[in-house]
């Protein structure tokens, strides 16, 4: 006679977690796969998938073998989550092709939440595909029209952040309408962004596309950025940053060392910008030490008469700026260049607009 075991429905999520965890530990295959729907996620765009995402991450992080976390081709509402390391394995991949994640409304986001999705202290994490909808439109309107606590100028959540992490890959991801910055990398190492798309209206405030700070060995390639602030902002302490085949615009271009908020800040060194296009871009100044920066094979149009603006710090001038084959135009008229406290070299090719580092003020 068959034996029937009754399980309290409230214990089902916990039981599923332990079953999946047991499969991960007992398997001898190279990579295991789990799905967030194993942990209760419902792709209806309404039900909060945050608890399921955290449970899936916990199972993957405690596994002794690499894990693929599958996010099915559906729309999931996701509240703010923090995915902490270190993990027992250094290869966790989020397979997100065709899936959409919806951010919470700004009124439902905790004021202490600096990020919608935050990875902290992780190694070997990859995000492949997926669409992040930051739902920033109402938040921007609030910032423009009121001064309430939920939308003060310095509030808002960046969509995706990696902090104190290494060996990170973000590939074929689209980020749309982030409330604040789209992608942030702080104090991280060996980061690759490949075929990423970032988009927000040209008048959206403080929506930097990619912000890199205190990080080393960062590669941004084959990426399109359309936003209301810096396409790429490079903060203090960044070294060995390569930006290749990036389309920027609208936006404020690439701002290097643009913070300068503290009396003493780490410099920016070893930046290469190559084979990139700027369309309707503006630019900003610098407040930290900038050195060893190369701009090579750059084309595009400027939204302001000053197409190249090396406005460096008087106390810590920019050094070792190298220009190669640059052609920037202005829709109406001829663009100009400006330099202040900058030391550089024109190495090869035509530079337009012309610039003479020997006459910098």
Closest CA to 212 of 190, 196, 244: 190
Closest CA to 293 of 328, 247, 329, 257: 257
**Residue 323 is assigned to a structural domain of this protein:** yes
Active site residue 340: no
DSSP conformation class of 64: S
Within-domain flag for 19: no
CB 198 within 8 A of CB 184: no
| β-bridge pairing 166-171 and 100-102 | unpaired
**pLDDT of amino acid 112:** 55
Pair 253, 282: CB distance under 8 Å: yes
- Tell me what the mean pLDDT of segment 8-36 comes to: 57
Question: In this predicted structure, what is the pLDDT of residue 191?
Answer: 99
Q: With b meaning 16 or more CB within 10 Å and e meaning fewer, what string describes 102-133?
A: bbbebeebeeebbbbbbbbbbbbbbbbbbbbb
Residue 223 forms part of a structural domain: no
Residue 306 located in a structural domain: yes
- Predicted confidence at residue 314, as pLDDT, reads 82
Both 142 and 241 in a single domain?
Answer: no
**20 domain-assigned:** no
Q: Give me the chain's average pLDDT, please.
A: 87
Q: Is the peptide bond before 151 cis (omega within 30 degrees of 0)?
A: no
> Strands (DSSP E) along 282-335, which ranges?
290-302, 306-311, 318-330
Using a pLDDT cut of 90, give the percent of the chain over it.
62
Q: Is residue 219 part of a domain?
A: no
**93, 150: one domain:** yes
- Round to whole Å and give the CA distance between 219 and 214: 14
pLDDT, position 155: 77
Write out the residue range of the structural domain in which residue 269 sits: 230-361
Give me the catalytic one of 182, 195, 211, 252. 252
Instruction: Read off the pLDDT of residues 61-88 as tens digits, 9 standing for 90 and up.
Output: 999 999 999 999 999 999 999 999 999 9
- Is the CB of residue 49 less than 8 Å from the CB of residue 72? no
Distance (Å, whole) CA 200 – CA 225: 9
Query: Of the candidates 214, 239, 257, which is a domain's last residue?
Result: 214
251 closest CA partner among 220, 228, 235, 284? 228
Torsion angle in degrees (nearest 10) through CA of 352, 356, 359, 361: 50
Q: Are strands 336-340 and 268-281 parallel, antiparallel or unpaired?
A: unpaired
pLDDT, tens digit, for every residue of 109-133? 665 579 999 999 999 999 999 999 9
Instruction: Provide the domain count of the chain.
Output: 2
Answer whether 0.75 is exceeded by the pTM. yes
User: CA quadruple 181, 114, 205, 99: dihedral positive or negative?
Assistant: positive
């Amino acid at each position: 006679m068959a034996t029937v075991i009754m399980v309290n429905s409230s214990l089902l999520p916990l039981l599923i977690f332990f079953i999946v965890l047991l499969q991960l530990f007992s398997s001898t295959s190279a990579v295991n796969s789990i799905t967030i729907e194993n942990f209760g996620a419902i792709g209806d765009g309404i039900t909060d998938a945050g608890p399921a995402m955290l449970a899936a991450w916990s199972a993957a992080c405690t596994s002794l073998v690499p894990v693929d976390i599958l996010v099915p081709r559906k729309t999931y509402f996701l509240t703010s989550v923090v995915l902490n390391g270190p993990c027992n394995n250094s290869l966790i991949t989020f397979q997100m092709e065709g899936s959409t994640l919806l951010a919470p409304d700004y009124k439902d986001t905790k004021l202490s939440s600096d990020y919608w999705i935050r990875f902290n202290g992780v190694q070997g994490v990859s995000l492949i595909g997926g669409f992040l909808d930051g739902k920033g439109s109402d938040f921007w309107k609030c910032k423009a029209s009121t001064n309430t606590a939920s939308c003060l100028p310095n509030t808002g959540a960046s969509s995706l952040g990696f902090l104190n992490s290494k060996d990170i890959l973000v590939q074929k991801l689209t980020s749309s309408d982030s409330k604040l910055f789209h992608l942030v990398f702080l104090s991280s190492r060996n980061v690759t962004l490949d075929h990423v798309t970032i988009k927000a209206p040209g008048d959206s405030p403080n929506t930097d596309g990619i912000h890199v700070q205190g990080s080393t060995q960062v590669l941004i390639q084959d990426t399109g950025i359309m936003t209301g602030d810096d396409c790429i902002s490079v903060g203090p302490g960044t070294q060995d940053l390569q930006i290749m085949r990036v389309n920027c615009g609208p936006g404020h271009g690439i701002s290097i060392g643009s913070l300068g908020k503290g009396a003493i800040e780490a410099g920016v060194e070893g930046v290469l910008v190559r084979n990139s296009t700027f369309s309707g871009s503006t630019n900003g100044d610098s407040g930290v030490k900038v050195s060893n920066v190369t701009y090579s094979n750059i084309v595009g149009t400027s939204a302001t008469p000053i197409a190249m603006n090396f406005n460096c710090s008087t106390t810590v001038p920019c050094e070792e700026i190298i220009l190669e084959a640059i052609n920037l135009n202005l829709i109406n008229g001829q663009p100009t260049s400006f330099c202040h406290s900058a030391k550089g070299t024109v190495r090869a090719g035509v530079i337009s607009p012309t610039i003479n580092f020997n006459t910098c003020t």
